[in-house]
Each structure stands twice: as structure tokens, then as C-alpha cells.
């Protein structure tokens, strides 16, 4: 598949968090004990979340070896250290626990990895979750707001119902003289968005950020409490202080032992996901979570890949997310869209800035 991701430098950690919701992934794929599952690595969150569903095997794959390096570090910590070390390294409790966790993890790593991660944590003392290029950009927004407006935004965490939240946002945050709307749109518009993602990745985008993301945020605040949504809280306030109950399943203490037990089922590959699905090695894969990789290809290339998957006469179910380009707007013989499920998952997706979710099923 001719993806724009193949044209950017893959020498940095572009994502330190997976923004696609695990609840969407679980419902979309309906993972069973006999399933072989392929998951885009990204920051590894949904790879680990998939393991918690106890399939037969999970293959994590990414074009960027740095994303796989991050997943391997997480697996090393999960296998050999207690939950407190894992949580500390993530950065959920601030810089001091990050330093203590790194001191505990460092001796167990190969020499080359020690050198790499030593430099990494010197540059990112706040921990893993906020260290990706995209996450640093996103979390930089709050600091651009006046202190009074920052505090008003934090008051959304104290609101008890959606109607009250929506009214507060409209009457306090969104009023013309606050500057919030204009600042949000300017910060996340196309000119600035490239600070978080390489501009070449927007080649096929049908819409730009800024106003579009703002309207998605407004809609989301009318449907779900910000205080109870992991992605919204992280988006505005970063990883520190997040209640454990809203963390992705793989980062909750109650799932840590189960996650450790499932690690032997994981294999990690570097490469392109659809090429893997079409290869001999990928023929056992029955379920696949492909993040938003079709954001970076032309519509014709997407349809060509779907046609190739159809020609294999295999059983395959996959889920992917649309951000600024809508792939699979409708179904066809080679694009077997589960329309009702896709619509329901789009409406329920936890991360506000996605346009839609698509589930395809070749039977």
C-alpha cells in the first residue's frame, strides 16, 4: 500500500498514546479465544488491550521501529516489575515517580537500550505517555491560555451532568471575550497542526483541523462528561491526576496480572500492516485493528487493498478510524462495510476528534 507514512522519517517517537478507544476496538472485533489478531503498534496501548481479551495470538506491527521499541519497553516492565513501577514510568503521578521507576528498570535492559532510554527520560522527565511528538503538541495547548481561562477549563472536571457541562462551556468558556474558541482553532489549524504531525501526512485530508476539531469538541461535550473521558482529560490536562477507573484497561492495576500472563502470546513485527495481511505470514489473521492508517493513502489505493483482501477468499474482520479523510463512506462488493455497527461505534467513540469508525468484514 502506498502510504504517505513511508515518505516521512521514522526515527522518532511520533505517538506515545493510542487515541483510538479500546471499547470501540473490543466491540468492533468481538475477539474470541481462537483468534489471531493484528494490531497497529502505535504506542502499544491497544496491543496490550487486545491481549487482555485473551486471543490465541496478537501480532503488533508498525512501520516505525521506534513505536515497536516503546512497546518492547512496556512489555519488559510488565514482565519483570510490579505495577507501581509501570505506572511510574508512564508518568501518571508526575516526574519523581518517573525517575524512581527508570532507576528500577534500567539495570534489566541491554546496554544499547539503557543508553537510548537514559537519554529519552532526560529529555522527557514527565514519563512515557506525554513524550510523543503528537502528545507534546496537544498538551502544549493549555499553557497558551491565560491562567484564569485555564482555571475555568479545569472547572469542567467538577460538573456532575452533561446538560450542566454544556451550559457551563457555552456561558463561561465559549463566550466571545474569553478567546478560547479562537485560540483553539488557531492552535489546531493546519499551519500549526504540522507541529504534532508531519505535514506530508495530510496529503489526502479532505478537511483541515481548527474549526472542524472545535465543532467535534462542542458536540462531544454535549454527549459525555469530560471528567469521565480519558482522552478528553488527557487532551487538555495531560497524564497526571487521571483517575485509574478511566485509564485504558491495560494501564489499570486490576488488569496487570492478567496482562503479564498474556504477554507470551505477543509477537512484534516491523512493516506495513496491509502488506502483512496479504503475505503468507498473515494468513492466520482473522481480526485486525488498523488505527487510522487509511488516512495516509488515496481512495483508489484503499479500494485496491480491499479488493486484494477480497480475492484471498479469507475470513477477516477489521476496524479502522477516519480522522480528516473519510474512507469507506459506503459499502461495495470489495469494501464489505458493516454499516449499522460502524455508525453505532462512530457515535460512541471515546476520542472526540475522530470523524468516524469503520468495520469491514470479509466472510
Question: In the beta sheet, which residues pair with residue 267?
Answer: 59
CATH number of the domain at 4-132+249-362, out of 3.30.1330.20, 3.40.50.150, 3.40.50.300, 3.90.950.10?
Answer: 3.40.50.150
The answer to whether the CB of 126 falls within 8 A of the CB of 132 is no
pLDDT at 196: 46
CB neighbour list of residue 151: distance below 8 Å, 6 or more residues apart: none
pLDDT at 8: 53
Pairwise CA distance, residues 16 & 92, whole Å: 13
Task: Give the position of cell 516521512.
Answer: 8
pLDDT at 209: 76
List every span in the chain annotated with CATH 3.40.50.150: 4-132+249-362
pTM value? 0.94
Listed as ranges, residues in the chain with pLDDT below 50 are 4-5, 196, 204
Task: Give the position of cell 471528567.
Answer: 227
C-alpha cell at 21: 478507544
Pairwise CA distance, residues 335 & 310, whole Å: 8
* Degrees to nearest 5, angle at CA 329 with 326 and 334: 115
Instruction: Tell me how far CA of residue 40 lies from CA of 189, 269, 296, in angstroms.
Output: 27, 10, 14
pLDDT at 296: 85
Pairwise CA distance, residues 308 & 103, whole Å: 48
Pairwise CA distance, residues 81 & 99, whole Å: 15
pLDDT at 4: 47
pLDDT at 101: 98
Q: What is the pLDDT of residues 112-149, one digit of tens each?
A: 999 999 999 999 999 999 999 999 999 999 999 999 99
Pairwise CA distance, residues 236 & 213, whole Å: 13
Amino acid at each position: 500500500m502506498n502510504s504517505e507514512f513511508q515518505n516521512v522519517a521514522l526515527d522518532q517517537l511520533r505517538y506515545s498514546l493510542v487515541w483510538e478507544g479500546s471499547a470501540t476496538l473490543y466491540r468492533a472485533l468481538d475477539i474470541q479465544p481462537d483468534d489471531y489478531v493484528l494490531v497497529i503498534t502505535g504506542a502499544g496501548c491497544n496491543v496490550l488491550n487486545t491481549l487482555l481479551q485473551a486471543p490465541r495470538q496478537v501480532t503488533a506491527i508498525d512501520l516505525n521501529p521506534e513505536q515497536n521499541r516503546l512497546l518492547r519497553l512496556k512489555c519488559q516492565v510488565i514482565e519483570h516489575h510490579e505495577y507501581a513501577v509501570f505506572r511510574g514510568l508512564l508518568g501518571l503521578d508526575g516526574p519523581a515517580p518517573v525517575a524512581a521507576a527508570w532507576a528500577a528498570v534500567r539495570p534489566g535492559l541491554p546496554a544499547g537500550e539503557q543508553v537510548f532510554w537514559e537519554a529519552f527520560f532526560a529529555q522527557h522527565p514527565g514519563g512515557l505517555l506525554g513524550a510523543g511528538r503528537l502528545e507534546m503538541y496537544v498538551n502544549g495547548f493549555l499553557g497558551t491560555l491565560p491562567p484564569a481561562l485555564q482555571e475555568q477549563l479545569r472547572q469542567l472536571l467538577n460538573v456532575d451532568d452533561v446538560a450542566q457541562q454544556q451550559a457551563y462551556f457555552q456561558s463561561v468558556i465559549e463566550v466571545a471575550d474569553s478567546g478560547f474558541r479562537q485560540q483553539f482553532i488557531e492552535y489546531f489549524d493546519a499551519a500549526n497542526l504540522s507541529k504534532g504531525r508531519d505535514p506530508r501526512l495530510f496529503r489526502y485530508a479532505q478537511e483541515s483541523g481548527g474549526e472542524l476539531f472545535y465543532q467535534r469538541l462542542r458536540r462531544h461535550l454535549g454527549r459525555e462528561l469530560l471528567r469521565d473521558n480519558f482522552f478528553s482529560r488527557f487532551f487538555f490536562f495531560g497524564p497526571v491526576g487521571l483517575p485509574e477507573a478511566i485509564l485504558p484497561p491495560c494501564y489499570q492495576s486490576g488488569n496487570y496480572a492478567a496482562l503479564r500472563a498474556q504477554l507470551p502470546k505477543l509477537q512484534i513485527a516491523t512493516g506495513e500492516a496491509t502488506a502483512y495481511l496479504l503475505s503468507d505470514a498473515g494468513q492466520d489473521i482473522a481480526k485486525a485493528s488498523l488505527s487510522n492508517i487509511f488516512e495516509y493513502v488515496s481512495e483508489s489505493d484503499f479500494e485496491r487493498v480491499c479488493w486484494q483482501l477480497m480475492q484471498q477468499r479469507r475470513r477477516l474482520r477489521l476496524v479502522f478510524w477516519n480522522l480528516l479523510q473519510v474512507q469507506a463512506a459506503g459499502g461495495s462488493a470489495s469494501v464489505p462495510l458493516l454499516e449499522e455497527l460502524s455508525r453505532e461505534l462512530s457515535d460512541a467513540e471515546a476520542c472526540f476528534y475522530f470523524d468516524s469508525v469503520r468495520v469491514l468484514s470479509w466472510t
